[in-house]
């Protein structure tokens, strides 16, 4: 088929790579004149790592990425909330802390080497399905015709076929994110968090090395309607807040200037089903969440791989898309609902929800069954409240996740 992928993000490039390798003729349509990565560092879970291996992009990243084997979440005073260790599943189980430019460049190289084309400076105004074709309107002046259009334009995109049932609601809380240099002796294998009630949360994710220096993505919760007042305050006041919540984090943000700090907002997105006619949405455009569970990139890569596997030449397109959504619906629904449930107990104005979270955290720490379910959720293996999925292929890293 001739396929147009809208968006040169992680989901779009992975889909383009898989589909091109399957013999399809693929364009990636990107609105930026010079495509580039946008966003913070990210945590890729084991199923996402496996997909990078399948695309041949894994070896380019592991030399500089952060190998994450533990989540350590505490209250500001140091009292432990949640402590989850990947190696409880298997000695080699781990996630990857990645700088977004690194994984973006690796996936772009995979897509291009497979034969996909990037058509930059192509702003898609609308897309609709007509007479067995996807019509993509570009730059307010022309239209491109495809057998299938894949909307991979991210959580804030309003693109999609007419009549698609899609929820898109802005989360009231977002975050400030920045890249910081880590001092000697910092635990490079641990994603750490500190919480003060539900109004303050700071997280530090080691993301590997840059020019020989250990770096991390640092996140600070912020209510989106207060971002203007944050910009008007002296930066020193915010630095004091960070240091009060977590003194070591205060040291990390001390050298930063205001231009080093970015504001990110998130949406609760859900399209069920995410396809209509000759158009399908994948990744955050179909099931966007807050970053609480660190699953966005992993779910997007799994969408891309599953879609390519389901587009079989002997099937009608509608049947292929039905097979795709049957494979992906339960897992994406689970993580979307888990994100909606967890976000208010970490980011809200409710002291009660903070106390509820602290009480539930005890069950995660002390009840083996609950702890295992929390760990399986963290690594991206859950497909429902009581179910987990099998690894995509047998290998030493993944077999223990069954």
CATH top-level class for 173-264?
Answer: alpha beta
Q: Are 206 and 189 in contact (CB under 8 A)?
A: yes
- Taking only the tens place, the pLDDT of each residue in 344-388 is 999 999 989 988 888 888 788 888 888 999 999 999 999 998 898
Residues 104-130 pLDDT 10s: 999 999 999 999 999 999 999 999 999
What's domain 2-67+98-170+267-349's architecture? 3-Layer(bba) Sandwich (3.50)
pLDDT bin (cut points 50, 70, 90) of residue 73 is: very high
CA 337 – CA 139 distance, rounded (Å): 36
236-281 pLDDT tens trace? 999 999 999 999 999 999 999 999 999 999 999 999 999 999 999 9
Distance CA 331, CA 151 (A): 19
List the domain boundaries for the chain.
2-67+98-170+267-349, 173-264
Q: pLDDT category, 394, cuts 50, 70, 90?
A: very low
pTM above 0.75, yes or no: yes
**Cβ contacts of residue 272 below 8 Å, gap of 6+?**
165, 329, 333
pLDDT at 395: 42
In the 8-state DSSP scheme, what is residue 386? S
Residues in a beta bridge with 166: 271
Return the pLDDT at 392.
52
The 10s digit of each residue's pLDDT in 126-152 is: 999 998 999 999 987 789 999 999 999
The model's confidence at residue 64, banded by pLDDT at 50, 70 and 90, is confident
DSSP 297-335: HHHHHHHHHHHHHH--TTS-HHHHHHHHHHHHHHHHHHH
**C-alpha–C-alpha distance, residues 393 and 49, integer Å:** 12
């Amino acid at each position: 088929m001739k396929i147009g992928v809208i968006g040169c993000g992680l989901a779009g490039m992975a889909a383009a790579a898989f589909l091109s390798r399957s013999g399809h003729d693929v364009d990636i349509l990107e609105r930026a004149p010079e495509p580039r990565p946008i966003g913070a560092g990210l945590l890729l879970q084991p199923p996402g790592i496996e997909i990078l291996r399948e695309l041949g992009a894994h070896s380019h990243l592991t030399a500089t990425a952060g190998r994450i084997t533990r989540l350590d979440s505490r209250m500001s005073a140091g009292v432990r909330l949640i402590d989850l260790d990947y190696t409880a599943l298997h000695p080699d189980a781990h996630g990857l802390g990645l700088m977004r430019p690194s994984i973006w460049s690796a996936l772009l190289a995979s897509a291009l080497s497979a034969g996909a084309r990037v058509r930059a400076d192509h702003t898609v105004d609308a897309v609709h399905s007509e007479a067995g074709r996807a019509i993509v309107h570009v730059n307010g002046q022309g239209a491109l015709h495809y057998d299938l259009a894949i909307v991979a334009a991210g959580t804030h995109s309003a693109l999609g076929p007419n009549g698609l049932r899609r929820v898109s609601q802005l989360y009231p809380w977002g975050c400030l994110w920045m890249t910081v240099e880590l001092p000697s002796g910092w635990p490079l294998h641990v994603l750490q968090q500190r919480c003060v009630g539900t109004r303050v949360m700071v997280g530090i994710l080691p993301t590997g090395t840059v020019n020989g220096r250990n770096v991390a993505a640092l996140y600070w919760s912020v209510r989106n309607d207060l971002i203007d007042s944050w910009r008007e305050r002296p930066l020193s006041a915010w630095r004091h807040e960070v240091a009060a919540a977590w003194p070591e984090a205060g040291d990390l943000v001390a050298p930063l200037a205001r231009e080093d700090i970015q504001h990110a907002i998130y949406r609760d997105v859900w399209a069920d089903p995410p396809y209509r006619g000759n158009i399908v949405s994948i990744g955050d455009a179909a099931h966007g969440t807050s970053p609480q569970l660190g699953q966005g990139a992993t779910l997007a890569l799994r969408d891309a791989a599953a879609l390519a596997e389901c587009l079989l030449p002997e099937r009608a397109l509608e049947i292929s898309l039905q097979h795709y959504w049957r494979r992906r619906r339960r897992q994406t629904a689970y993580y979307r609902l888990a994100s909606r449930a967890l976000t208010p107990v970490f980011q809200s104005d409710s002291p009660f929800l903070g106390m509820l979270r602290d009480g539930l955290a005890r069950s995660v720490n002390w009840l083996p069954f609950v702890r295992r379910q929390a760990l399986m959720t963290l690594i991206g293996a859950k497909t429902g409240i009581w179910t987990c999925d099998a690894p995509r292929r047998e290998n030493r890293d993944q077999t223990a996740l069954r």
